[in-house]
């Protein structure tokens, strides 16, 4: 038996309605906030340069997105200012390319000029040095300021009426009214519903982890 596109959409809507029947946030069309501090992603080669051959990351706690975790390991980053920022957390698992995510405020200390990018899009980004207990790595590119984005599953996307790589406007739910534009939608079957912002955005809007935003219907 084959289904038409309209029938498939109707079936998906029924499933989503059932899944959110007891979910207050989704029923209110609210999306939880996760605040992301400065952090580092490493590839195997750079991990071993910084910590030694054969070294493995030590998971500390799971993050909100499945399979992602904070590690016990921290490192120091240095930019052209030669003013170090210490105790920058490493996140796992390992990636194919090393990457450092900082805030705009951090870039003023480092005196580099990281572009605002989607995580993983490091081509032509700012350089930075990473210093570890066993060695140092000089990245010619790889330092970015992560763009504001919302992780969601395909069912979440169906519920909110968006698709992967859409850009939306959101309002912060709280006492200090804030509106953010050009927020990227990122859809994957393993994603958990959450909007990620950095510490600059968090401080400017007076919110923290667990705060809520809503997508503006324009």
Residue 189 sits in a domain whose CATH number is 2.40.40.20
Classify burial at 21, counting beta carbons within 10 Å of its beta carbon; exposed 0-12, middle 13-18, buried 19 or more.
Answer: exposed
Q: Is the pLDDT of residue 159 over 50?
A: yes
Read off the pLDDT band of 91 (50, 70, 90).
very high
Q: With residue 141 as reference, give the H or E element that holds it.
A: strand 136-146
Q: Is the pLDDT of residue 17 over 70?
A: no
* Same domain flag for 31 and 56: no
Looking at 104, 121, 146, the residue that finishes a domain is 146
Residue 184 near residue 53, CB atoms below 8 Å: no
pLDDT digit string, tens, across residues 178-213? 999 999 999 999 999 999 999 999 999 999 998 999
Looking at 146, 181, 199, the residue that finishes a domain is 146
* Same domain flag for 63 and 117: yes
Residue 173 lies in a domain: yes
Mean per-residue pLDDT for 137-147? 98
Please indicate whether residue 1 or residue 70 has the higher confidence score (pLDDT). 70
* Same domain flag for 76 and 141: yes
Give me the half-sphere count of Cα atoms (radius 13 Å) on the Cβ side of residue 11: 7
Q: Which pLDDT score, from 0 to 100, does residue 29 have?
A: 85
Q: Is the pLDDT of residue 19 over 60?
A: no
Read off the pLDDT band of 1 (50, 70, 90).
low
Residue 11 lies in a domain: no
* Same domain flag for 105 and 203: no
Mean per-residue pLDDT for 40-56? 98
Q: Which pLDDT score, from 0 to 100, does residue 24 have?
A: 46
Q: What phi, psi does 189 have (nearest 5°)?
A: -60, -25
Mean per-residue pLDDT for 139-163? 96
Q: Which pLDDT score, from 0 to 100, does residue 26 have?
A: 52
* Same domain flag for 92 and 191: no
Q: pTM for the complete prediction?
A: 0.84
Q: Which pLDDT score, from 0 to 100, does residue 169 have?
A: 97
For 65, the domain range is 36-146
The sign of the dihedral angle between the CA atoms of 188, 116, 94, 199 is negative
């Amino acid at each position: 038996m084959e289904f038409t596109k309209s029938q498939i959409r109707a079936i998906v809507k029924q499933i989503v309605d059932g899944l959110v029947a007891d979910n207050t946030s989704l029923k209110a069309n609210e999306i939880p906030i996760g605040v992301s501090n400065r952090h580092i992603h490493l590839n195997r080669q750079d991990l071993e340069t910084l910590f030694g051959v054969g070294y493995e990351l030590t998971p500390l706690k799971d993050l909100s997105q499945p399979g992602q975790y904070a590690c016990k390991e921290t490192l120091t980053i240095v930019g052209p200012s030669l003013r170090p920022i210490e105790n920058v957390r490493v996140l796992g698992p390992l990636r194919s390319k090393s990457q450092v995510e900082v805030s705009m405020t951090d870039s003023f200390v480092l005196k580099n000029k990281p572009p605002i990018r989607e995580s993983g899009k490091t081509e032509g980004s700012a350089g930075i040095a990473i210093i570890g207990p066993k060695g140092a790595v000089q990245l010619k590119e790889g330092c970015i300021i992560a763009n504001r984005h919302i992780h969601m599953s395909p069912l979440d996307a169906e519920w909110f009426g968006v698709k992967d790589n859409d850009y939306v406007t959101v309002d912060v739910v709280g006492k200090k009214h804030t509106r953010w534009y050009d927020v990227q939608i990122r859809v994957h079957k393993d994603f958990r519903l959450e909007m990620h912002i950095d510490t600059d955005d968090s401080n400017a809007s007076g919110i923290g982890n667990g705060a809520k935003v809503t997508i503006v219907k324009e």
